[in-house]
Amino acid sequence: MTSPSQISAHPDTKSFDVRSIREDFPILQTKIYGKPLIYFDNAATSQKPRQVIDRLVQYYEHENANIHRGVYYLSERASEAYEGARDSLQKLLNAAGRNEIIFVRGATEGINLVASSWGRANLKAGDEVIVSHMEHHANIVPWQLICEEKGAILKVIPINDKGEMNLEAYKSLLSEKTKFVSVVYVSNSIGTINPVKEVIEAAHAYNIPVLLDGCQAAPHLEIDVQDLDCDFFVFSGHKTFGPTGIGILYGKEKYLDAMPPYQSGGDMIKQVSFWRTTFKELPYKFEAGTPHIEGAIGLATAFEYVTNIGRSNIHAYEQKLLAHATQKIAAVDGLRIIGTAKNKIPVISFVVEGAHPLDIGTLLDFEGVAVRTGNHCTQPLMDCFGVSATCRVSLAFYNTVKEIDEFVIALEKVIKKIKS
Ligand code: PMP
């Protein structure tokens, strides 16, 4: 069994040996209809390395107990592992304090927490909240609801035809009326890496807090929340090689401290009577009820795993995959790539003349290929490109050039079949 402290540097840290990395991911050996799995749906959820799976098994076999409340050995051990995960994630995200790391169910819950708690306490009629045109629905709807409730207005940063954020238009939206900016760091649908440092700097000139939806950034980019200077940062564990049902809300202490609780109940209170309740300090004020203990531990293990491989190694390798995949996919007859930003993670969305994305995805499955089809929870973005759905290839550091080549052969075969 592997515990976080036992994970040593990956044997091939310097040369980035994808073959040995793939051996860490048992699911990649799966055969689908007798064909080797080509898993290209990493933006929806990532696969998990053996180190994470083993850590979860170890937790259930040797450490399982409820945390914080027990005075016995197992409960103390589980509490230590849970709080240790917070410490590890604080370090790896470079947050200034452990109080700034809140365990949530995922990005969706993190954004809802901020929109609900911060929004309810701070927004009033006529105020403005800014999001971009390429947001996931999870970063639109919570703001829409709180704006509706408070009489505030949602403003939208436009994008160009490559799928890049229009920074000048963004800056012209900022005013004394703007109270919050909430933008996606990296688009899940088209892979654009947004210039978030500039977004944050411009908002801070007006003292406006900024939330980054880091769901697609965390699996691909080095995350240093102090360097970014974002006020909030959310991501989901399951997209970052960790368990499902766990995620992180990072928030600067000055904001989190001033925000009222989001959910309430056990573990987040200091004192309860029928007349009055007082709440615990951060981070516990925002962690009501029994948390996803093993999820937090597994997420820290996943982050440690990625750090050991080396973020810069991963980035360099993924950029090679992206360049290769873009060139090969773009060459397919009748195919149009949706989203051609200069800075991208390895996500390629496309449509094919005369072939519905759903049909392409369904037939690719029979070839052992898993891709996502649909609007990717970004309907406004799809509208921008005049499409209702795309096929999306989203790669991770365990994918290979060979898989890309095999995918393109399979894609050409299914397109031919659909059109015949
Ligand atoms: N934001 C982005 C950019 C995403 O890609 C996703 C998941 N597709 C979410 C938010 C929501 O994440 P979750 O469903 O894990 O809460």
Q: The domain spanning residue 177 has which CATH number?
A: 3.40.640.10
My answer on whether 197 and 344 are in the same domain is no
Residue 97 has pLDDT above 90, yes or no: yes
pLDDT given for residue 70 in this prediction? 83
Query: CA-CA distance, 250 to 227, in Å (whole number)?
Result: 13
R_g over Cα of the chain:
22
Residue 39 has pLDDT above 50, yes or no: yes
My answer on whether 275 and 415 are in the same domain is no
Supply the mean pLDDT for the chain: 96
pLDDT > 70 in the chain, percent: 96
Cα of 107 vs centre of ligand 1, distance in Å, is: 6
The domain tally of the chain equals 2
Residues 6+ apart with CB under 8 A from 206: 174, 175, 176, 178
Query: Does residue 416 contact residue 363 with C-beta atoms inside 8 Å?
Result: no
In this prediction, residues 78-98 reach a mean pLDDT of: 98
Q: How far is CA 55 from the centre of its chain?
A: 21
My answer on whether 172 and 297 are in the same domain is yes
At 370-379, the pLDDT tens digits run 999 999 999 9
CB 138 less than 6 A from any atom of ligand 1: yes
User: Which atom of ligand 1 is nearest to 110's Cα?
Assistant: 16
Q: What residues make up the domain containing 59?
A: 54-307
Residue 69 has pLDDT above 50, yes or no: yes
pLDDT given for residue 278 in this prediction? 95
CB 107 less than 6 A from any atom of ligand 1: yes
User: Which atom of ligand 1 is nearest to 109's Cα?
Assistant: 16
- Angle, in degrees to the nearest 10, between helices 311-330 and 401-419: 30
Q: How confident is the model at residue 7 (pLDDT cuts 50, 70, 90)?
A: very low
Q: How confident is the model at residue 403 (pLDDT cuts 50, 70, 90)?
A: very high
Residue 261 has pLDDT above 70, yes or no: yes
CB 108 less than 6 A from any atom of ligand 1: yes
My answer on whether 24 and 148 are in the same domain is no
Q: How confident is the model at residue 214 (pLDDT cuts 50, 70, 90)?
A: very high
At 301-342, the pLDDT tens digits run 999 999 999 999 999 999 999 999 999 999 999 999 999 999
In this prediction, residues 347-368 reach a mean pLDDT of: 98
In this prediction, residues 104-132 reach a mean pLDDT of: 98
User: Which atom of ligand 1 is nearest to 236's Cα?
Assistant: 15
Catalytic residue list contains 377: yes
Query: CA-CA distance, 362 to 378, in Å (whole number)?
Result: 21
The helix/strand/coil state of 350 is: strand
Q: How confident is the model at residue 14 (pLDDT cuts 50, 70, 90)?
A: low
Of 307, 340, 360, the domain-final residue:
307
Query: Does residue 299 contact residue 237 with C-beta atoms inside 8 Å?
Result: yes
Residue 1 has pLDDT above 70, yes or no: no
Residue 3 has pLDDT above 90, yes or no: no
Cα of 140 vs centre of ligand 1, distance in Å, is: 12
CB 106 less than 6 A from any atom of ligand 1: yes
Q: The domain spanning residue 40 has which CATH number?
A: 3.90.1150.10
pLDDT given for residue 139 in this prediction? 98
My answer on whether 167 and 136 are in the same domain is yes
Residue 253 has pLDDT above 60, yes or no: yes
User: Which atom of ligand 1 is nearest to 376's Cα?
Assistant: 8
Cα of 216 vs centre of ligand 1, distance in Å, is: 8
At 225-242, the pLDDT tens digits run 999 999 999 999 999 999
In this prediction, residues 218-228 reach a mean pLDDT of: 98
Residue 96 has pLDDT above 90, yes or no: yes
CB 42 less than 6 A from any atom of ligand 1: no
pLDDT given for residue 8 in this prediction? 41
Nearest CA to ligand 1 atom 4: 215
My answer on whether 342 and 406 are in the same domain is yes
Cα of 355 vs centre of ligand 1, distance in Å, is: 27
Cis peptide before 260 (omega within 30 of 0): no
Query: CA-CA distance, 402 to 417, in Å (whole number)?
Result: 23
Residue 88 has pLDDT above 50, yes or no: yes
- Choose the residue to mutate in 131, 189, 193, 215 for probing ligand 1, maximizing ligand atoms within 8 Å of C-beta: 215
Cα of 235 vs centre of ligand 1, distance in Å, is: 8
Query: CA-CA distance, 399 to 409, in Å (whole number)?
Result: 16
Spell out where 133-279 has E strands.
Answer: 153-157, 178-184, 210-213, 232-236, 247-251, 269-272, 277-279
My answer on whether 166 and 295 are in the same domain is yes
- Choose the residue to mutate in 108, 189, 379 for probing ligand 1, maximizing ligand atoms within 8 Å of C-beta: 108
Q: DSSP secondary structure string, 82-108?
A: HHHHHHHHHHHHT-S-GGGEEEESSHH
Burial 149-175 (b: 16+ CB within 10 A, else e): ebebeebbbebeeebbbeeeebeebbe
Q: How confident is the model at residue 200 (pLDDT cuts 50, 70, 90)?
A: very high
Nearest CA to ligand 1 atom 8: 44
Cα of 196 vs centre of ligand 1, distance in Å, is: 18
Of 288, 307, 326, the domain-final residue:
307
My answer on whether 41 and 178 are in the same domain is no
My answer on whether 218 and 92 are in the same domain is yes
Q: Which of 215, 230, 377, 384 is catalytic?
A: 377
My answer on whether 315 and 302 are in the same domain is no
Residue 366 has pLDDT above 80, yes or no: yes
Query: CA-CA distance, 36 to 359, in Å (whole number)?
Result: 21
My answer on whether 39 and 67 are in the same domain is no
Of 283, 307, 331, the domain-final residue:
307
pLDDT given for residue 10 in this prediction? 44
At 15-36, the pLDDT tens digits run 789 999 999 999 999 999 999 9
Cα of 63 vs centre of ligand 1, distance in Å, is: 30
Query: Does residue 244 contact residue 238 with C-beta atoms inside 8 Å?
Result: yes
My answer on whether 101 and 249 are in the same domain is yes
User: Which atom of ligand 1 is nearest to 105's Cα?
Assistant: 16
